[in-house]
Amino acid sequence: MLMFVTADPLKNIASFGALIVAWSFVFGNSCRVTFECFVFLFMTNPYDVGTRPYNDRPRQFVSQKNQVIKYRIYKN
């Protein structure tokens, strides 16, 4: 404990600042990707229940939607 408490507090602040900058490079990309995954998971809904998506096969509709953004598309 005495190793961290020195007489010069400016050295302590500078060393902790350097650690924070280093951690931002290490964990910054992981935090960004995690945030983007949560945004995609909870905020984007390309299809709702009852939507009729247009693709090569005619007469399809979304009948069930899961929390993991997986859709069941059935033919009429």
Q: Which distant-in-sequence residues (6+ apart) come within 8 Å of 57 by Cβ?
A: 75
pLDDT per residue over 4-58, tens digit each?
666 677 777 778 888 888 888 889 889 888 988 888 777 766 666 666 666 666 6
CA torsion through residues 43, 51, 53, 71, sign = positive
Residues 58-76 pLDDT 10s: 666 666 665 555 555 555 5
Would you state the pLDDT for residue 36? 86
In the chain, which ranges are E strands?
60-65, 71-75
Domain limits, the chain: 2-74
- The pTM of this model reads 0.39
